[in-house]
Amino acid sequence: MLKKWGKRIGYGIGDLGCNLVFSTMASYLMVFYTDVFGISAAAAGTMMLVTKFIDAFTDTGMGLIVDRTHTKWGQGRPYFVVGAVPFAVFTVLTFLIPDFGSTGKLIWAYVTYCLLCTAYTVVNIPLNTIVPRLTSDVHERDILVSTRMVCAMLGTAVVMSITSPLVKFFGQGNEARGYLITMTIYGIAAMLIFFVTFASTEEMVPPTINQKHSSLREDFKGLTGQAWILFLLNLFYFSLYVVRSTTVIYYFKYNLGREGWLSLVGLLGILSGLPMLLLLPELEKHFSKRNLMFFSVALYIAGDIVIFAGKNSAACLLLGLVITGLGIYGIFGITFAMQPDVIDYSEYKKNASVSGLIAAFQGFFVKGGMGLTSFVIGAFLKSGGYVANAVQTEKALSYIEICFIWIPIVLCAAIAALTYFYKLDGIRGEMTEALEARRCEAVSE
């Protein structure tokens, strides 16, 4: 049991390492670029859109590379080591402010952000692919995914609760220095965590077919309709994540005048999802992923409405954050729990081992959605008349409220509509039996 939990935690903390930087980018990078680095909200939003679509294409390339990697350490594990040091280096460079002119600084932001996103791809795509290779036991996979989600949540909790205090502590009035030292710590911590993930995991379940000599066209044929549902769920979920994580700072700072709450808001909004992630493996024994997704979406919408209706009540704000935290982490956990089933479905239905390509397209839609969402937020705030570090107009405040309250509700409705077409819950047992039989046949030949 101790060895099993060592593997679970070793795998899970990989996402803690990713989220030390990923969550900072989602929550603080826009504010860093506009209020510290010194570029406009529109320029920052445009940069994130452009670089995310570039990054989305690197995801596809990385997925194809993983599918064609065959080493004694497995398909995905080697990249935890390969990507660890570049990830730390580019994290630091992204938050380094050079003494250039405005054009030079913008170019620096584009280049460093692209490099950081590429390094993230190198470690994150393999993290997404290896669950079906770690075990064929469905319940154990659910535990691995939930462990990963808990660790991801803890990484986000660390970012949301201590980043601002660390920036102030290390900066001593100089936010640029504060961000640089804080992100250097995060980058080094993430690098060490990826080394632990490599050492703690072992790919034991081979695919039923080798994609080493397949063409790109053949790989694309291995994608199923269920895979495209998963991709779109990732797009809408991470759009929801970016909207919530980015605009919560603006909403509490300007609309509610509660800037001093930000650490508490971040911690409460995140840790409130812990019970959901801990319960998911057990819940998935009794309820379908489809129904659990519907329930999580309903929770998030209910929490959003509580925040809107009780904006003048501290109790209502805190209650709403708890409810939305349960909802968003329910959506998060279930979306990632669907992925191993979708990977198996391609092997079962199409006789194709395309876990890397599936993870790559997830990344493509995640990053494309994040880039587009960041662009929309930047453009939307600009059109509302937002001015950094100033008293906002009524129009600007209403635009911030739309971003924080109403856009997430629309995204939740889209997630529910997509989930209606997910159908793998009913054939999960059948898929497992068929794939195990194929592996046995391959061993006996």
Mean pLDDT of 55-79: 84
pLDDT of residue 354: 82
Residues with Cβ < 8 Å from 334, sequence gap 6 or more? 280, 289, 292, 293, 296
Q: Is the pLDDT of residue 3 over 60?
A: yes
State the pLDDT confidence band at 317, using cuts at 50, 70 and 90: confident
3-state DSSP call for residue 363? helix
Sequence-distant contacts of 209-214: CB under 8 A, at least 24 apart? 209/347, 209/351, 209/352, 209/353, 210/70, 210/353, 211/67, 211/68, 211/352, 211/353, 211/354, 212/68, 212/70, 214/352
Distance of CA 304 to the CA centre of its chain: 21
Work out the average pLDDT over 384-409: 88
One-letter amino acid identity for 123?
Answer: V
pLDDT given at position 417 = 97
More confident residue, 74 or 259: 74
pLDDT of residue 208: 65
pLDDT tens for each residue of 221-270: 888 999 999 999 999 998 998 888 888 888 888 888 887 777 777 677 66
Task: Annotate 285-318 with DSSP letters as a single string.
Answer: HHS-HHHHHHHHHHHHHHHHHHHHHTTT-HHHHH
Per-residue confidence (pLDDT) for residue 35, from 0 to 100:
87
Say whether pLDDT at 424 is over 60.
yes
Number of continuous H segments (helices) and E segments (strands) in the chain: 17, 0
What is the C-alpha separation between 114 and 50, in angstroms, rounded? 9
- Give the lowest-confidence range in 170-174, 178-182, 216-220, 348-352: 216-220
- Model confidence at 26, pLDDT cuts 50, 70, 90, reads confident
Give the pLDDT score at 439.
75
